[in-house]
Amino acid sequence: MALTGSIPQEFGNLSFLAFLDLGSKNFHGNLPQEMARLRRLKFLDLSFNNFRGNSLSGNLPNGLGNGLPVLNGLYLSTNFCGHLPTSLSSCSQLQILSLSENEFDGPIHSEIGRLSNLRLFYLGFNHFIGEIPKEIRNLVELEVLNLGYNSFSCQLNMEIFNISGLRKIALTKNILPNIDGIYLRNLTNLVGTIPHSISNRSKLATLELSGNKLSGLIPNSLGHLSHLLFLSLGANNLTSDSSLSFLTSLTNCRNLTLLSLSRNPLNGMFPESAGNLSASLRKFYAERCKIKGLISYAVGNLSNLIDFDLNENNLVGSIPTSIGNLRILQGLEITFITEIYLSSNKFSSNIPTSLGNLKDLLDLDLSSNNIAGSLTPEIGNLKVLVQIVLSMNGFSNKIPREIRGLQNLEYLSLRCNMLHGAIPDSMSNIPKSLEKLKNLKYFNVSVNKLYREIDTRSTRETRNTHQNQSTSSRNRGPLW
């Protein structure tokens, strides 16, 4: 209708109004305070009044929300400036709040969390600053949240995004370079690629994006984040080029302490450059990433590594001897490992049940430590094991029956522990089932409290062998 001019104060007298659409007109000037008297109003659209250079202007009336108790939708795009009035939080029935493309500034007040029925919340293209209030987590009906193109400068709190119905989040270019943390974990509806522009956040120390539905290439520009300490990208659908060049770029992040890439289809060759990652790196997780090729000898340079997980990949060749340089390593997850020699240390606690996952293990030596507890029955899963040396520890209870599954076993030493009970029948005819272990050449369980009756049928055949191979009589009761 080509309406123009200012909105008259008399609009406030139209108390019967439930729907008022004055959008995309030529109105200008200030919004009259009297608009707050429209108590039956459910829908108000004042957006896009900017034809021919005219526009509504000024601050929103402070009491605007107090007088609109049943308002469902409020559209105020491209018109206003100043701070948001706290009275908006009184619009308890509000479902749609569109304040984008204005000149609003200042912080978003925490009272915004009272709008528990809000579904669509648009604040993009303004000048909001400071903290994104954690009270947004109270907006349990929220589906769309647009905070893009503002000047927020604080750390993002993960709790803000723990809203089950949230479908879209926009944070584009709303974070100043001095932000130091982004936490967007396990948001099941977070899709798309990691933008190259994230490298503009020069002070970013933490980037947590794991457990989402991100895809595309991991950008090499992450290497520009020189202050990065914590990078977690696990459990997405991220990829890389065949040389995993993003790992090379991350060698510029000299303060990196944690790198998690697990469960992404990277499908590339393990690069030599991985050994040039930060000397501060403590944890490196890359299981189930379809990584191929050899483990670089250079990984021995990562001297502060305590957790190193390359489980369930397509790696080939030998584990480099330089792994021995990782003096403080506590967790090593490589399932194709064939030899473990950790004797004469000060390891304590129990043998982890996960040891049974090392299907290619041939030699296991944990002797002369302080390892206690029972021998894990999972040891019976190590079907190709040739040698077990567990002597000089604090193992207790019985020898597990599952040890009968070690058909390739040649050398078994359990001496100087606190094992007790009967030697299991499953260990066969010396007593009764050792004949099943066809390759066994050495069996030492001395200085324990084991017992077993002598089997005279096999004693004569094995007396000479076992006299030479030291099965001590210091066990309580006869052994053979």
**pLDDT, tens digit (0-9, with 9 covering 90-100), for 389-440:** 999 999 988 888 888 788 888 888 988 999 887 776 655 444 444 555 667 7
* Residues 6 and 70 placed together within one structural domain of the fold: yes
| 230-234, 335-339, 448-452 — most confident range | 230-234
Q: Are 146 and 100 in contact (CB under 8 A)?
A: yes
Q: Which pLDDT belongs to residue 56?
A: 61
What are 160-197's pLDDT values in tens digits? 656 777 777 777 665 545 567 777 788 766 778 888 87
pTM confidence score = 0.52
Asked if 141 and 115 touch (Cβ cutoff 8 Å), the reply is: no
Domain endpoint, select from 292, 310, 336: 336
Same domain, 221 and 237: yes
Whether 274 shows a pLDDT value over 60: the answer reads yes
Whether residues 6 and 113 fall in one domain = yes
183 and 171, same domain (yes or no): no
For 310-357, how does the pLDDT look when each residue is reduced to its tens digit (9 = 90+)? Answer: 888 888 877 787 887 888 877 776 766 778 888 888 878 788 887 888
- Is the pLDDT at 66 greater than 70, yes or no? yes
Structure tokens at 366: 């944990």
In terms of domains, do 195 and 171 share one? no
Q: 299, 320, 336 — which closes off a domain? A: 336
403 versus 239: which is more confidently predicted? 239
Q: Is pLDDT above 90 for 24?
A: no
Number of domains in the chain: 3
- Looking at the structure, tell me whether residues 103 and 207 fall in a common domain: no
pLDDT digits (tens, 9 = 90+) for 70-118: 999 999 888 788 888 888 888 999 999 999 988 888 888 889 999 999 9
261 plus 361 within the same structural domain = no
Please give the sequence-ordered ranges of beta strands (E in DSSP) within 307-410, or none if there are none.
Answer: 307-309, 314-315, 331-333, 339-341, 363-365, 372-374, 387-389, 394-397
State whether 162 and 253 are in the same domain. no
Which of 316, 336, 356 finishes a domain? 336
Q: What is the CATH number of the domain that holds 95?
A: 3.80.10.10
Both 292 and 358 in one domain: the answer is no
Q: Are residues 184 and 290 located together in one domain of the fold?
A: yes
**Structural domain containing residue 27:** 1-176
**Angle made by CA atoms 394, 398, 399, in degrees to the nearest 5:** 90
Same domain, 24 and 160: yes
Residues 6+ apart with CB under 8 A from 477: 450, 451, 452
Same domain, 13 and 157: yes
